[in-house]
Amino acid sequence: MKSRPCLTVFLLLVVLLPIAADAAMYAYVDARGICHYTNAPGDGRYKLNERPARRVGSPEDQLIGTILRRSSSRLSLAAPQALNTYIHVAASTHQVDPLLIKAVIQAESNFDPNAVSSKGAQGLMQLMPGTARDLQVANPFDPRQNIDGGTKYLRYLLDNYKGNVELSLAAYNAGPGNVTPYGLIPDIPETQAYVAKVLQNYRSYRSSGMVSLPSINVRNMVTVH
């Protein structure tokens, strides 16, 4: 069963990469089971991958067409321009400062849509599988779904903590159960470091001249000290 995602990615690459018909393809599977392909290996992990000739109109062509029609290629989904669009759409939908969303993504995954933590959190905003299901995120590795779900959860936390960003971020990292009883950032080194990192990212984005959406009143929403 593990070979099916690899086959899907490989078939997409066969169509999308501008390589010559006789060019060799090299591949390796990383520790997370993600397949990587290239026609110019610069890494010893890549091994030659034999690619059989393909006839136009063959069943393989039909399969590729179906894949491309049913889902957007993850090669383009992770492009910076696409991520910016998803962030701003989610920001507008859930009324969260897009710069705060970006700061969370940077701290959580450093903009890697395939990131998986040691605890099993997935994607750009590192959603746990149970949280993703609650947020109706069918595919946490889809940047658009992940950003929308993570922002929706962040909005819930901001409402729960009356716009206090520090407490909302602490709950995002450690869970509301570790924050709500005391109304304080819990004495958990990882959580304290996480809150500080996100706030540092957030201040950096704001001081660099990046603007928030005009429909969002940032001053009323955040309490960053």
CA distances from 46 to 13, 43, 191 (A): 15, 6, 37
Residues designated as active site: 108
The one-letter code for the residue type at 125 is M
Q: Are 213 and 95 in contact (CB under 8 A)?
A: no
Q: How many residues does the chain have?
A: 225
Q: Are 12 and 68 in contact (CB under 8 A)?
A: yes
- Distance, CA of 83 to CA of 37 (rounded, Å): 23
Q: Read off the pTM.
A: 0.63
Give DSSP secondary structure letters for 206-222.
HHTT----TTS-HHHH-
Would you kindly state where each structural domain of the chain is located, as residue ranges?
3-71, 76-221
- For the domain 76-221, what is the CATH code? 1.10.530.10
pLDDT in tens, the chain (225 residues): 444 444 444 434 443 444 334 456 666 566 555 555 566 666 667 677 654 444 445 554 555 454 444 434 444 455 788 899 999 999 999 999 999 999 999 999 999 999 999 999 999 999 999 999 999 999 999 999 999 999 999 999 999 999 999 999 999 999 999 998 778 899 999 999 999 999 999 999 999 876 555 555 554 455 544
Q: For residue 167, give the nearest of 101, 94, 96, 223 by alpha carbon.
A: 223
| Helix H or strand E encompassing 193 | helix 189-207
